[in-house]
Structure 1
């Protein structure tokens, strides 16, 4: 296989780099005859940290053809790594998931874990509260992550903090990490009190908890663009109860919460949680519109998210992923929709060589 070369200014620091793909690792040792595939502003691949590929509608089983198409949508947008905190069906993807040369790297949390009587029909597991910590630990032992739904409908009971705290302890004991779904204020309190690793959505979270989240190293994946879209639909409803309900109140305040989280030092991750796949650039722009500095918002979808998920950036020895733009994307967020080149696992998957 031909050795690929990229050069330019690499974010987050903007320093000049000249890198060669030695298989699936970057090296800065020059390789004679390497093919220069892109030159410009380089990011170490985009990341969608909250996506559920593989099913066209809620409740449907995982479909391999749909999964491949969804992952291709991510890759075409420059996404080289995804995290799926919950997968359709039984949550067991095909063996090629995350390894296929034509789809992004991937980590996942298997099926959602919820309380009985909650969550979407056809998806997830619903063990007893007594068994839930063990179920979460077993999942994390298999895939590195587990995902728990701590609150669902406003009238539903929030998961008891002692159960969630035990789940965190069990998951950490096997070397895993725990993500939780929360869109209720009480659920956010329980999640922070239990010390989970990642809070998904986090709508209605009390901003007073943000310093505690930062101190714990807890990430927030706000899925802001998806919540903004849902808010717009509700505001356009002719039903007064829909337009003024508790969801509208929480969603209306969500952008301010995301900006406050970034300012407080919370690790913020970009995630789309919506179809079609490959729209993480929209999440970056939604964060910036809410008041998150563009450098931080871009990091939430690139180098910061990769670091949180255990992958280094554009340095020698790092995985050979990169997305290249003609201008600094921090100055022109629209350029995120138009990558010059995408390199994954040392292969050019979008763009053409320059020489």
Structure 2
């Protein structure tokens, strides 16, 4: 793979620093080897590919910190897919989802729940070059109480000892982090209510301790303050959703340095497109009622100074997520930080990805336009680089079937 020189670009480096106009960026051996102003460029290296990219913006590849690749943007009901599809079908869908994610400029995915160890298998396939896709961090399966939220894809436990064993076995299988289900959810009904705490503090602590003991991160599905506070007491690093967050709990999250992945686009898109995607009528109705209130809840986290990270869940969309973060009070630059360097910090991979710095992996996107003035410029991706290898989004999409929901 030849070295690559990109010339005449505006660089948004993902750290929150002001953009660098009329700049160059050099990639060698899959890593960023030089960044600077065009006036400082020494073009004497030779043997490199050159892209003249005046009018384009280069950013770090986007990080989706909440995804389910094996049922990303599926059509039908959760029961149809998880209980109805074979493991092989789920894996094929996951492979297509890898291509779709990369085509949208997502170069890192935290897959936060799959059936069995499917997301670990996808991670390994991408890592060894068998599959084209984003780098993947995988949990294997979430940990839930018996019959708890998402039990169909979870390791079910009913005591601290069982939670500890589940975490140990998942980590042994290759999990990069541990996820626990602390509450019910909006996308379920019956006894699975979003306001109910499920796993206990002691059960979560046992699982989280095992992850932290070997330097791995932890996260939790949680909506109500009781569940979020229980998870914080148990030592969690990150909260998914936080759909019923209150001001006091948001302030506690900020004080403890706990990240929030609000997944705002999931409910919003379910409300808007759920019926045509085969979601049950009750779920569409719940989403339509809940989606507007979710922004007000999210604003509590923004006011408290909670560290916000992008993630879209199985039905959401990355650029839509970023629009909604801005609707909730983040600036355009802070929204980009949430999708790049802060997300990398949350995932504990900021030493290699998340910002444009010499020595880091060349995970980059080239877009037409300026996302600081119109975040929808991120829909106009001309190139995606993953570890320095270039892809045209249209070429990636051409390899995907029509039912992956791109």
Q: TM-score, normalised by structure 2?
A: 0.76
Aligned to 1:6: 6
Equivalent position to 2:57, from 30, 41, 56 = 41
Q: Secondary structure at the match of 1:96?
A: helix
Q: How does 1:51-66 map to 2 (within 5 A)?
A: 51-55=67-71, 56=74, 57-59=81-83, 60=85, 61=87, 63-66=90-93
Q: Is the Cα contact below 8 Å between 1:37 and 1:341 reproduced in 2?
A: no
Change over 3 Å in CA distance of 1:38–1:73 after alignment to 2? farther
Alpha-carbon distance in 2 for matches of 1:262, 1:4: 39
> Deviation digits for residues 79-127 of structure 1, max 9, x if unmatched?
1111111122344424313453721111111111110122335412112
Equivalent position to 2:98, from 71, 77, 87 = 71
Aligned to 2:179: 147
Q: Is the Cα contact below 8 Å between 2:104 and 2:381 reproduced in 1?
A: yes
Alpha-carbon distance in 1 for matches of 2:171, 2:334: 29
Alpha-carbon distance in 2 for matches of 1:286, 1:274: 16
Structure with higher helix content: 2
Q: How does 1:1-355 map to 2 (within 5 A)?
A: 1-7=1-7, 8-11=9-12, 12-13=16-17, 14-16=19-21, 17-28=23-34, 31-37=45-51, 39=53, 40-55=56-71, 56=74, 57-59=81-83, 60=85, 61=87, 63-91=90-118, 92-94=120-122, 95-100=124-129, 102-120=132-150, 122-129=152-159, 130-140=161-171, 142-152=174-184, 153-154=192-193, 158-231=198-271, 251-275=291-315, 279-309=317-347, 310-311=349-350, 312=353, 313-350=355-392
CA RMSD of aligned residues (A): 3.0
Instruction: Tell me how many residue pairs correspond in the alignment.
Output: 346
> Deviation digits for residues 192-218 of structure 1, max 9, x if unmatched?
332311111111022212222123221
Following superposition, the deviation at residue 50 of structure 1 comes to: 0.5
Alpha-carbon distance in 1 for matches of 2:272, 2:201: 33
Alpha-carbon distance in 1 for matches of 2:337, 2:304: 16
Alpha-carbon distance in 2 for matches of 1:140, 1:216: 25
Q: Is the Cα contact below 8 Å between 2:178 and 2:207 reproduced in 1?
A: no
Q: Is the Cα contact below 8 Å between 2:197 and 2:224 reproduced in 1?
A: no
Following superposition, the deviation at residue 139 of structure 1 comes to: 2.4
Q: Secondary structure at the match of 1:97?
A: helix
Alpha-carbon distance in 2 for matches of 1:242, 1:303: 34
Alpha-carbon distance in 2 for matches of 1:350, 1:146: 34
Alpha-carbon distance in 2 for matches of 1:249, 1:33: 58
Alpha-carbon distance in 2 for matches of 1:143, 1:273: 19
Q: Secondary structure at the match of 1:151?
A: coil
Q: Is the Cα contact below 8 Å between 1:140 and 1:177 reproduced in 2?
A: no
Q: Is the Cα contact below 8 Å between 1:75 and 1:103 reproduced in 2?
A: yes
Alpha-carbon distance in 1 for matches of 2:303, 2:311: 19
Change over 3 Å in CA distance of 1:330–1:240 after alignment to 2? same
Unmatched 5+ stretches in structure 1: none
Alpha-carbon distance in 2 for matches of 1:240, 1:118: 19
Alpha-carbon distance in 2 for matches of 1:240, 1:280: 25
Q: Is the Cα contact below 8 Å between 2:178 and 2:219 reproduced in 1?
A: yes
- 19-28 or 118-127, which deviates more: 118-127
